[in-house]
Amino acid sequence: MTQRIYVDNAGTTPLSQKAMDAMLPYFMEEFGNASAVYDMGVRAKAAREDARRKIATALGARDNEIYFTSGGTESDNWSLHGAAELRHGHGKHIVITAIEHSAVLHTAEKLESCGYDVSYLTTDDKGRITPDQVLEALRPDTVLVSIMYANNEVGTLLPIKELCAATKQYNRKILFHTDAVQAVGHIPLNVRELGVDLLSLSAHKFNGPKGIGALYMKLGSALPAYMTGGGHEKGRRSGTDNIPGIVGMAVALEESVHDIDASMPHILKLRDRLTEGVLQIGGSHLTGDPVNRLPGSASFVFEKLTNAPLIKRLADHGICASAGSACSAGSGDPSRVLLALGYPAELAKASLRITLGKYNTAEEIEYIIDTLGVLVAELRMGKSPIVGISYSDKPD
Ligand code: PLP
């Protein structure tokens, strides 16, 4: 039987065993509501606060700057809507980039439909933005700049520290948010050094559980309540605490940050071998910044190909990869990020994102390179699948 090779780690990641073990007691024995005053509630509250401390430490933040949310999408929505509300009366101009995740892009579009003016910064062909571009876009009525830390399709890392410094140099009252969902747990990152006011993270991108995330809010720039209700999270984000999720996220983040030094060289080696091998395939190109990119990220386009059948054939051979973003995997539509980078529609429909994690092996990479070479040739010739290549046929 064909084994599964999972290389869609930007889409989501498997839960770590440590996170799972830490979460388990909070489903049954310790199921108390953290707002309750009896012993089980007190212990749930203590677990939540311990998790908050761990997350704050991992990010270089203070405990009271971390707010729990349901994930990256909510943290992004809160940042944009919250900043608009907080700075109401100071202006109606927002700056984002054209390559933001839909959670930021569509939220900005929604604000636009409510009378906000949004500037969409365009990147160069590698997905890069400069501080000068930000400075040129800023206006006396700008209330928020939101720029992602790492792009989820092509993996390009944006110079957030410099972009934030340029914004603050123009007007320190403009809030700076970064969607760091793809970066947290994968590269060293410290909110104080970055200088940002708001930072979004999501547990399932760093081997934590799904449906839980956090928003870092720098002291002094705390946003108004997003979810109103019972007054949880200092009245800013109501809703019964997801204690298993919160505990699992904290353990996964602590583990990922602890493992960065050990896992990064392994992941980089695999990614570089993968890139070298895939670029041997005629008409293939690496997308995004070749140097400043996420360690596990390798995205390609293939001339004379569309990605939907390629991704399907890869899946038939046990390889779990995606087109660009997990949301658009296999849709056949051109990637809006690649279009924004200036790729023609034909190539923007031919993207393949392979994102590696610490559990991938050198043997898997060789199998991906071999399989991809065969499948690309086969699809270009319009042939039906070549049978007989299977991961399990490979020697141990
Ligand atoms: N931002 C980025 C850059 C992402 O890659 C994702 C998920 O793919 C999100 C936000 C949304 O995060 P979540 O799935 O936790 O809602």
Ligand 1 atom closest to Cα of residue 12 = 8
Q: CA 199 from chain center: how many Å?
A: 12
> Exposure pattern of 298-322 as b/e (b: 16+ CB <10 Å)?
bbbbbeebbbbebbebbeebbbbbb
**Gap from CA of 302 to ligand 1 centroid (Å):** 26
Ligand 1 atom closest to Cα of residue 327 = 8
Coil vs helix vs strand at 77: helix
- Calculate the alpha carbon distances from 166 to 69, 136, 151 in Å: 29, 10, 20
Ligand 1 atom closest to Cα of residue 202 = 15
**Gap from CA of 202 to ligand 1 centroid (Å):** 7
Residue nearest to atom 13 of ligand 1 (CA): 72
Q: CA 201 from chain center: how many Å?
A: 8
**Gap from CA of 266 to ligand 1 centroid (Å):** 25
Coil vs helix vs strand at 368: helix
Residues near 186 by beta carbon (within 8 Å), at least 6 away in sequence: 150, 205, 206, 256, 260, 294, 295, 296
Q: Spell out the per-residue pLDDT of the chain, length 396, in tens.
A: 468 999 999 999 999 999 999 999 999 999 999 999 999 999 999 999 999 999 999 999 999 999 999 999 999 999 999 999 999 889 999 999 999 999 999 999 999 999 999 999 999 999 999 999 999 999 999 999 999 999 999 999 999 999 999 999 999 999 999 999 999 999 999 999 999 999 999 999 999 999 999 999 999 888 999 999 999 999 999 999 999 999 999 999 999 999 999 999 999 999 999 999 999 999 999 999 999 999 999 999 999 999 999 999 999 999 999 987 654 555 568 999 999 999 999 999 999 999 999 999 999 999 999 999 999 999 999 865 544 444 333 333
Residue nearest to atom 5 of ligand 1 (CA): 152
Task: Taking the CA atoms of 237, 241, 244 and 246 in sequence, report the sign of the dihedral they define.
Answer: positive
Give me the phi and psi of 95, to 5 degrees please.
Answer: -115, 125
Residue nearest to atom 4 of ligand 1 (CA): 181
pLDDT at 392: 38
Residue type, 162: E
**Gap from CA of 37 to ligand 1 centroid (Å):** 35
**Gap from CA of 142 to ligand 1 centroid (Å):** 25
Question: Is position 320 annotated as part of the catalytic site?
Answer: no
Residue nearest to atom 10 of ligand 1 (CA): 72
Residue nearest to atom 12 of ligand 1 (CA): 72
Of 152, 199, 202, 325, which is best to mutate to test ligand 1, by the most ligand atoms within 8 angstroms of its C-beta? 202
- Calculate the alpha carbon distances from 115 to 14, 93, 118, 119 in Å: 41, 9, 9, 13
Q: In degrees to the nearest 10, what's the CA dihedral of 32, 33, 35, 37?
A: -30
**Gap from CA of 379 to ligand 1 centroid (Å):** 31
pLDDT at 382: 86
Residues near 381 by beta carbon (within 8 Å), at least 6 away in sequence: none
Q: Please give all residues whose beta carbon lies within 6 A of any atom in ligand 1, as ranges.
A: 71-73, 76, 101, 103, 148, 152, 179, 181-182, 202, 213, 326
Ligand 1 atom closest to Cα of residue 11 = 8
pLDDT at 387: 44
